[in-house]
Amino acid sequence: MTDLNNTTPRLIKVFLFGSCRVAWLLLCGCASQAYAPTPLSVYRQDAHLSTAHFLEAAGTTPAPIKPKLASETQEFTLNQAVQTALQADPRIAAAFEGINQAQADLLTAGLLPNPQVSTDIQLMPLTRTFTVTRQGGPPQFDFNVAMPIDWFVFGKRAAAMVSGAKGVDVAEADFANTVRVRIAATISAFYDVLEMQAMLELAQENLDNLAKMENIIRNRVAFGGVGTIETDRIRLSIFSSRRDVHARELDLAAARNRFRALLGIAEATPIKVKGSLEVGNLAKPISIESALQWAAENRPDLASLREQLAKANADIKWEETKAYPAITPSVGYTRQFQQQAIGYPDADSWMAGVSVSVPLFDRNQGNIGKAKSVYNQTQLNLQAQLVDLRAEIDQAVQTFASAYQFLTSDDPGQLEAAKNVRDKITQAYELGGKTLIEVLDAQRAYLETYRVHISGRSSYWHSLYQLNAAMGKEIVR
């Protein structure tokens, strides 16, 4: 009979070779796979704020924006500004990554648990050789496979997938709300730049008019028509006008910087906007109740809170399934090397078993209570958001109604009349028929009238888009 010591290295080699082969197969089968997020589903509400929605709302298709050098001035229409913000704003892109992360969580929730493989070699001789006369062992090789099934029996995997799906819905609603807020800010910044450009042009026009008046006064002083005190007076007005021009330049620079940031432009690229503050057909105001109804149906932030509420409810059920025990059945194969150890033929056998955790103490009580608290917290957040929404809608409706009333009651000939009065008084002063005080008063009246004209139209466009943003959809147009 061959000595068992001669067979021991062979058993070890068989054990090591078999274990390595099994490990290699498992690693190949469990290799990480490339994850490709599923396409973003169309938002359930009609209030999804996609590129197509805003371009359709604007009524035209923007021309593609050609890349320019950093030194070249980029000009944006409203449609191009919205398109650029959607494509280049890093905050919008960052919000979209939240959807990819939620979809990855859903993918993880749907994965089956990995099987557990164990292998060993037992009862090997330590201090002496096993023989028929000096029996021991016999040595044996074991290979066991275990697979948990509690994810299926108690619905743990299904509950996790429901929670993950609700998480995707929350991420989509949050993304839609980010787009709503950022695009509303872009539109507001666009009209801020238009307003500041108009104010700067008006301030420059006022400075030019005062410079012309200075020449007229110098001529009259030269001919002895007026005293030099009027020269000093007009200089003071010119100094004040120059300060106003400088202040308007700073306001325009601030508006452009804010606009550039919303477009996602990091370089110091000169930009300008192309548009007009003039209003063609006035949109009529709507009631507060109608606006509230539209907002409740279309606001993505409200939809997000509702989805968070649904997810919190799903999380409660998921945590409750975790209270059930873990069940892991297993099967195994055993090879006993008896021939040389005890004189009997080598034998093959199998085994089956199941391990079950006993939830005597830990039944996931803490996480269940936490999930219920999150559900209550989300309910309160939704109620608070509805209260805030009422105030926001009320303010937006009243602001737009005020801007609408201002434009409907505004005399379209008022601006032209102020300009005519200024020009006629200036001509009369040049001929000696009016005083400098009257000229400056007429100039000041024209300046204030024009400022009100610009502010009124800017307020109309700001309040119009702000109201639509507050409702989550372009209702007023």
- pLDDT tens for each residue of 136-162: 879 999 999 999 999 999 999 999 999
Beta strands 347-356 and 327-336, pairing class: antiparallel
Give 446-458 pLDDT, tens digit per residue: 999 999 999 999 9
Domain ranges of the chain: 35-45+59-113+148-323+364-471
pLDDT computed for residue 229 by the predictor: 82
- CA dist., res. 101 & res. 92, Å (int): 15
Say how far apart CA 445 and CA 443 lie, in whole Å. Answer: 5
Q: Tell me, what's the pLDDT at 37?
A: 41
pTM of the predicted structure, to 2 decimals: 0.80
Whether the Cβ atoms of residue 470 and residue 297 lie closer than 8 Å to each other: no
pLDDT at 71: 61
In whole angstroms, give the CA distance from residue 123 to residue 425: 118
Class of the domain covering 35-45+59-113+148-323+364-471: mainly alpha
Question: Residue 1: its pLDDT value, please?
Answer: 41
Asked if 294 and 471 count as a contact pair (C-beta separation under 8 A), the reply is yes
- Helical axes 229-262 vs 156-222, angle rounded to 10°: 160
Please report the pLDDT score of residue 101 as a whole number. Answer: 97
Long-range contacts of 26-32 (CB under 8 A, 24+ apart): 26/117, 30/114
> Which parts of the chain have pLDDT scores under 70?
1-71, 411
Rg of the chain in Å (alpha carbons): 40
